Structure 1
């Protein structure tokens, strides 16, 4: 069914849907890559495209030959270079409410222990990195650490992150009401804005939140300040009330999505 015409081109409903889908995909890709190294790389690819166009238009045979031979390798290179962004995009696709399965919640008692444990670390200026697994599984990161499978408690959190404990370096990963592993290695953020100003622990907190839907509590070893990372963003300088309300808000969001 034709809806209208532009010059001699007939535009139907399927054409509008097609255009809207492509525009939506490009918009999501731009939002995903905003603030990452991918922006600079896309600029380079755009310049290469212009060079290719100029080579064909001006009939620069040598440059045309070079670009035509490099292009197939470039496709593979793009996949390799953009691997973190592609992995994050697929992870976000899996978080869509339309295809989301079950959600892992947290009991109020466990939340209290988590908050109190974070406050203990803050008061003693002990660095802490606490990852709350949600929908996207973190098995790969769990396997980089030491399996614990212990109930969440403030004392245990404090003990794990107190030097010279062999588990104090790295992150602990919590699944439901269980600390499944400690001393886990996390990816660092690729956001240049954070990489310039944050230490390794905070970069790791933002990094894992970029690649999954995890909520991360991070305590600064230098200042004792508590922050929460989620979806690649960092909320800093949280007191007990702010920390609790932030975590409750995120967990309440899970429950509402589950009910929907």
Structure 2
């Protein structure tokens, strides 16, 4: 017996349903119903939900619109992109793609990519950094730090603004004024922190990136042996 649906149909349907029902509501049974097949038909392609999530994350990666990356940092118009610009642009591209899906950060976090589609953009990014004097280890650690910060922030951001179709809508649990009233008298700094953490998330993302890039710049060896 051969399934009349293919792997790509299952993944595309799962990603579309993700925006409707979220990660908790995304079940193999729900996907099968959407495809008008019996749930066992999906097991021709995926042994379990985790295998499906791995493929969904991989497809999300394939769809990402990465910035042009070349060792000399030159754009089509001849302008130059610094290595700092490169890291920032890659982080923004990653965040933008994850925010396109409800619970996109959770889907992407902890999954294993199922093919080598990530290898070429990763090579270009690391090549851009090593061309600027980063050692391979420094280049990997710089991107790995930016990458994990971005995914972690998106997970938090999507708990505040869960609907990708209405990104301005806020989960009622994040009532900043109510939080400030409860904490303000005894814990004024914690009260003020809420506005920074859960208010303008995009501003917090950009500020966090600047902190990371400054740290990368301050600690890299520039191609010379670092301090022992």
Give me the TM-score of the superposition, normalised by structure 1.
0.23
Asked which structure has the greater CA Rg, the reply is 1
Which has the larger share of strand?
1
Give me the TM-score of the superposition, normalised by structure 2.
0.25
Which has the larger share of helix?
2
